[in-house]
């Protein structure tokens, strides 16, 4: 009795999780994919007109707002990648200096505890030309200073990038710091004795040794970028015009404002595809690195 029960009990206990996975994830994804081929508007319409199956996608890619959103995704990713670079630099400095590491880490990480809505609001406030940073420098005498990025369509994304870098640098710094700590301390001593210049040491030894950490950061960054919604709402609400739309923003807008399920589903499916395209190669690469590392550790 005990043996059989011990086979059954865990499976029973797992059933809610399995149910959720099947219904709320698998089932939901399949449903959404299906919907993207239909003409559903406010309510689901389960009929598919096979002659026009890509109707929603055609609409999507003919919409300039969507292409803007996609290019914004790339811009945001490239810009936010600076946070990884900054995070690494900060981690390297904190690690070398050793003093005050705890204090620095606490300060750099606190933005993570702040909601993206609040973050966006504060930065929006700071970008305010009359009352924010621009005015601050004007009052100091530097009257040509311009810091009005979010008011103009071609620079608005940079404002969002800045806020996003502010928010996430500390996080990447923490990851990099733990990666740096896993490096054998005698390597640093050996390098000091070898008289290797700092730049060569980092470029040829340290950074390559941290491939795994960099990959992890890249994965997390790209996932965060695909999800970018809150910060856009808080800083610019998509504006000026549609210049700061992101795919996530587009999909939500398609559902809640344009009330078009089919359309929103198509946008969501593209988001999923983007996630897969970014995610799968990175994960495979990381898994491969991990396996190489394990093999090295055994040798």
Partner 1 sequence: MPQVRFENIVKQFGRLTVLENLNLTVEDGEFLVLLGPSGCGKTTLLNLLAGLIEVTAGNIVIGDRDVTDLDPKDRGLAMVFQSYALYPTKSVRGNLKFGLAAQRLDRAEIERRVDWAAKLLQISHLYDRKPAQLSGGQRQRVAIGRALVKNVGVLLFDEPLSNLDAKLRTEMRLEIKKLHNELKQTIVYVTHDQIEAMTMATRIAVMDGGVIQQIGTPDEIYEVPANLFVARFIGAPAMNIFDTVLKVGGNSVQALHAPTSVAIDISDYPFATRPEDGMPANLGLRPEHFVIGDANGARPAAIFDLPLRDTEKTGSDATAFLDAGGQLVAVRADPGKVAGMEVGKPMRVSFPREKLNVFDGRNGRRM
Partner 2 sequence: MTAGALAPRVAAAVYPRRRRRIKASSIATLVFLTMCCLFVAVPLYVIIVTSFKEMSQIVEGDIFSLPRTWTIEPWYKAWNTLCTGQYCDGIKTGFFNSIKILLPSIFFSIAISAVTGYALALWNVRWAGTFLFILFMCAFVPFQIIMIPLILLVSATGLYGSFWAVALVHAVLAMPLLTLIFRNFYKDIPQELMNAALMDSGSFWRVFFEIILPMSGNIMVVVLILVITSVWNDYLVGLTFAGFSSQPMTLILANALITSRGEVIYNVDMAAALLTAIPPLVVYFGLGRFFVQGITAGAIKG
> Tokens 């809640």 correspond to what residue?
256
- Rg of the chain on CA atoms, in Å: 24
Long-range contacts of 118-126 (CB under 8 A, 24+ apart): 118/234, 119/163, 119/166, 119/167, 119/231, 119/234, 120/163, 120/230, 120/231, 120/232, 120/233, 120/234, 120/235, 121/234, 121/235, 123/159, 123/162, 123/163, 123/166, 123/235, 124/150, 124/234, 124/235, 124/236
CA-wise closest residue to 42 among 256, 251, 257, 261 = 261
The reply to whether 193 sits near partner 1 by the rule CB under 8 A is yes
Chosen from partner 1, partner 2, none, partner binding at 184 (C-beta under 5 to 8 Å by type): partner 1
User: What does the alpha-carbon distance between residue 257 and residue 23 come to, in Å, rounded to a whole number?
Assistant: 26
- The number of C-alpha atoms within 13 Å of 60 and in the hemisphere containing its C-beta is 25
Q: Which of 74, 204, 283, 287 binds partner 1 (CB under 8 A)?
A: 204
Contact region for partner 1 (CB under 8 A) — 26-34, 137-145, 180-188, 221-229? Answer: 180-188
Count of residues of this chain found to bind partner 2 when the rule CB under 8 A is applied = 91
Contact region for partner 2 (CB under 8 A) — 58-66, 167-175, 188-196, 291-299? Answer: 167-175
The reply to whether 113 sits near partner 2 by the rule CB under 8 A is yes
The reply to whether 241 sits near partner 1 by the rule CB under 8 A is no
Contact region for partner 1 (CB under 8 A) — 21-29, 85-93, 150-158, 195-203? Answer: 195-203
Residue 246 is encoded by which pair of tokens? 């992101």
Q: Which of 88, 104, 214, 245 binds partner 2 (CB under 8 A)?
A: 104
Q: Which of 33, 196, 219, 272 binds partner 1 (CB under 8 A)?
A: 196
The reply to whether 184 sits near partner 1 by the rule CB under 8 A is yes
Least Cβ distance, residue 131 to partner 2 (angstroms): 5
Segment 197-256, which members bind partner 2 (CB under 8 A)? 216, 220, 223, 226-227, 229-230, 233-234, 237, 248, 251-252, 255-256
3-state SS, residue 209: helix
Chosen from partner 2, partner 1, none, partner binding at 257 (C-beta under 5 to 8 Å by type): none
Contact set with partner 1 (CB under 8 A): 184, 186-187, 189-190, 192-197, 200, 204-205, 208-209, 295-296, 299
């Amino acid at each position: 009795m005990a043996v059989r029960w011990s086979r059954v009990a865990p499976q029973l206990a797992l059933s809610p999780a399995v149910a959720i996975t099947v219904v709320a994830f698998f089932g939901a994804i399949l449903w959404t994919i299906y919907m993207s081929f239909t003409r559903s508007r406010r309510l689901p319409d389960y009929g598919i007109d096979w002659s026009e199956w890509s109707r929603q996608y055609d609409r999507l890619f003919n919409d300039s707002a969507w292409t803007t959103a996609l290019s914004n995704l790339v811009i945001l990713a490239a810009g936010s990648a600076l946070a990884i670079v900054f995070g690494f630099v900060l981690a390297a400095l904190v690690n070398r200096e050793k003093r005050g590491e705890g204090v620095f880490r606490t300060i750099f990480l606190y933005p993570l505890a702040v909601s993206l809505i609040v973050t966006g609001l504060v930065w929006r406030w700071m970008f305010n030309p009359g009352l924010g940073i621009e005015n601050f420098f004007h009052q100091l005498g530097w009257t040509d200073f311009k810091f009005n990025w979010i008011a103009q369509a071609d620079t608005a994304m940079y404002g969002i990038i800045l806020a996003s870098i502010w928010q996430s640098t500390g996080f990447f710094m923490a990851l990099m710091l733990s990666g740096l700590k896993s490096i054998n301390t005698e390597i640093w001593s050996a390098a000091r004795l070898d008289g290797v210049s700092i730049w060569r040491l980092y470029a040829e030894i340290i950074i390559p040794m941290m491939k795994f950490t960099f990959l992890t950061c890249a994965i997390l960054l790209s996932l965060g970028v695909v999800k970018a919604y809150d910060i856009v709402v808080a800083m610019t609400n998509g504006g000026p015009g549609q210049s700061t739309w992101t795919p996530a923003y587009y999909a939500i807008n398609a559902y809640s404002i344009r009330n078009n399920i089919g359309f929103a589903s198509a946008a969501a499916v593209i988001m999923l595809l983007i996630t897969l395209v970014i995610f799968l190669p990175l994960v495979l690469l990381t898994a491969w690195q991990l396996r190489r590392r394990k093999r090295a550790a055994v040798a």
